Amino acid sequence: MSSRILLLVILVFVHILTARAEGQLDQAFNLLEQTKTGKEELANARTQKIPIELGRVSKTDITATRALKGDHFEYVFLTRVIVDQEKGTVFQALDLAHELVHATHETSNPFDPTLDAASYVKHGIEGEGGEAEAIRKECAVGKELVDSKSTLQITAEAAQLIKVRCQFVWESESNPSRWTQSFYFLGHYYREFMKNVLDLNVSESAKQDWLSKIDRKAPIFSSAVAHKPYPVALLEEYVSITHDVCNRAHSSALSRSIASLSLLKQRCSSVGIEINP
Ligand SMILES: [Zn+2]
């Protein structure tokens, strides 16, 4: 086969796969639309014009660009939702319900010079549009699908899988302390997380606050992107963003107009980067 024909065959194949995947996403939309919770979320997403695409893993992608507003720079956040193309319709609908919670809530600025690691992780889990709320909504949709499986044509197998995924949530969400605490179960990530916290250049009392919260019990909830419990994934994210912001502040005079370098000094120092305003 000549290379041109081969390329054509590959392109046709890719096209067929894409068309099939997009049709599948339509089915997930339809399913979500038929639940009360999902319908409200989709309406919010439409109002906010949030793009929804297929991809390798379900996630909410937020990119920040700096735009000149008057005489100063401001961050503009662009949000899009990606849905795992390999999943079946029911689980795409649940993932979509989860991601739309993240996507439709205002993003707090991760580059805020005064933002500390503890607040970042706490907000990412317990805050508005955080993981706890996203999982609660995802399982609210799951409950509606299971309860009305005859009308929405959910297979018995899918209903069973939703129950496995959501049973703990349905049982514990009404008990706020048990529910919130379950996000801090770290299992074999406990030591890694403890080390990461102890490595932070923050006050002893701040470290003790963290360590009083985490638990060695087996993790119940983990990030699909990082494959780690949320506190571990969020702390890594914070350290990575902070490195990025501080290294840029080091090298770019422009940054002086975004944030006060003296405010940033403490944030940078917490991850071991010393800057001199
Ligand atoms: Zn999430």
pLDDT along the chain (277 residues), means of 10: 49 45 81 94 94 95 83 84 94 96 88 90 94 96 87 85 96 93 96 93 89 94 93 95 85 54 86 83
Q: Which domain holds residue 47?
A: 9-270
CB atoms within 5 A of ion ligand 1 belong to 131, 134
Three-state SS letters, the chain:
CCHHHHHHHHHHHHHHHHHHHHHHHHHHHHHHHCCHHHHHHHHHHHHCCCCEEEECCCEEEEEEEEEEECCEEEEEEEEEEEEECCCCHHHHHHHHHHHHHHHHCCCCCCCCCCCCHHHHHHHHHHCCCCHHHHHHHHHHHHHHHHHCHHHHCCCHHHHHHHHHHHHHHHHHCCCHHHHHHHHHECHHHHHHHHHHHHHCCCCHHHHHHHHHHCECCCCCCECCCCCCEHHHHHHHHHHHHHHHHHHHHHHCHHHHHCCCHHHHHHHHHHCCCCCCC
| CA of 101 relative to ligand 1 center, distance in Å | 8
| CA of 129 relative to ligand 1 center, distance in Å | 9
Residue 149: predicted pLDDT: 63
| CA of 251 relative to ligand 1 center, distance in Å | 33
| CA of 2 relative to ligand 1 center, distance in Å | 46
Is 180 a domain residue?
yes
| CA of 119 relative to ligand 1 center, distance in Å | 17
Is 1 a domain residue?
no
Q: Distance between CA 96 and CA 90 in Å, rounded?
A: 10
Is 47 a domain residue?
yes
| CA of 166 relative to ligand 1 center, distance in Å | 15
Is 277 a domain residue?
no
252 phi and psi, to 5 degrees?
Answer: -120, 125
| CA of 190 relative to ligand 1 center, distance in Å | 21
Is 240 a domain residue?
yes
Which token pair is 72? 């100063």
Find out whether 75 and 64 touch, Cβ atoms under 8 Å: yes
Cβ neighbours for 116, distance < 8 A, ≥ 6 positions apart: 202, 206, 266, 267, 270
| CA of 133 relative to ligand 1 center, distance in Å | 9
Residue 16: predicted pLDDT: 42
Q: Distance between CA 190 and CA 195 in Å, rounded?
A: 9
| CA of 192 relative to ligand 1 center, distance in Å | 21
Residue 24: predicted pLDDT: 74
| CA of 246 relative to ligand 1 center, distance in Å | 26
Give 198: exposed, middle or buried? Use CB within 10 Å, 0-12, 13-18, 19+. exposed
Is 2 a domain residue?
no
| CA of 183 relative to ligand 1 center, distance in Å | 12
Is 4 a domain residue?
no
pTM for the model stands at 0.85
| CA of 78 relative to ligand 1 center, distance in Å | 17
Q: Distance between CA 210 and CA 233 in Å, rounded?
A: 15
Q: Distance between CA 28 and CA 54 in Å, rounded?
A: 11
| CA of 199 relative to ligand 1 center, distance in Å | 26
Is 276 a domain residue?
no
How many domains does the chain contain in total? 1
| CA of 58 relative to ligand 1 center, distance in Å | 9
Residue 106: predicted pLDDT: 80
| CA of 106 relative to ligand 1 center, distance in Å | 14
Find out whether 106 and 44 touch, Cβ atoms under 8 Å: no
Residue 83: predicted pLDDT: 96
| CA of 223 relative to ligand 1 center, distance in Å | 7
